[in-house]
Amino acid sequence: MYNHQVNLRVRYSHTDRMGYCYYGNYAQFYEIGRVEALRNLGFNYKKMEDDGILLPVIDFSIKYLSPAFYDDMLSVKTLIKELPTARIKFEYETFNESGEKLNFGTTTLVFINKQTNKPTKCPKELTEKLKLYI
C-alpha cells in the first residue's frame, strides 16, 4: 500500500454560515491529496496530461464524521492499495490537528487517451513506481 499525507488550512472562504468547512470543499482537498501523492512518487500529473493521457474522476464518495472549522489545520491522507489498470482508486482520510478523523472517502479515476477519448492502460512509469509499495 502506498500512502502520502498533505496538510492544508481551512480558509475563511472555505466556510459556510455555520462556520463549518463547506462539504463541497473536500473534493478539492482530495484532489490536492492525490496530485501531491503522485508528485511524491515522482510522477507528474501535468506531464501525463501533456503526454496525451487524461485522468477524469468517474466516482467520488465521502462519509462525514465531524466538521472542520475556519483556521483548522487538516491532514489529508491519501492511499493507493492496488495497482492501477485502466482505472486507479484513491482512498482518503481527513484529520484535524487533534488527530480526530473528520471524514473518509474514495475517488476512482480512469486513464483516457486524449486523441481517441477512450480508456487506456495506466502509464507504465506509474505502475513501476507503485510496484515498490503494493
Q: For the segment 50-83, what is each residue's pLDDT rounded down to a tens digit?
A: 999 999 999 999 999 999 999 999 999 999 999 9
pLDDT band at 99 (very low <50, low <70, confident <90, very high): very high
Residue 30 has a pLDDT of 98
Task: Give the pLDDT confidence score for residue 10 in this predicted structure.
Answer: 97
Task: State residue 21's pLDDT score.
Answer: 96
Residue 7 DSSP SS3:
strand
User: The CATH number of the domain where 54 resides is what?
Assistant: 3.10.129.10
pTM (2 d.p.): 0.94
pLDDT of the residue at 70: 94
Query: Looking at the 3D structure of the chain, how many domains does it have?
Result: 1
C-alpha cell at 6: 498533505
Determine the pLDDT at residue 123.
Answer: 96
Mean pLDDT for the chain overall:
96
Can you give the pLDDT at residue 25? Answer: 96
Residue ranges making up the domain that contains 111: 2-131
pLDDT band at 128 (very low <50, low <70, confident <90, very high): very high
Range list of H helices, the chain: 25-40, 45-50, 124-131
Q: Which residues of 108-128 are buried (b: 16+ CB within 10 A; e: fewer)?
A: ebbbbeeeeeeebebbeebee
Question: What pLDDT is attached to residue 131?
Answer: 97
**Largest separation between any pair of C-alpha atoms in the chain:** 47
- In this predicted structure, what is the pLDDT of residue 49? 94
What pLDDT shows up at residue 31? 97
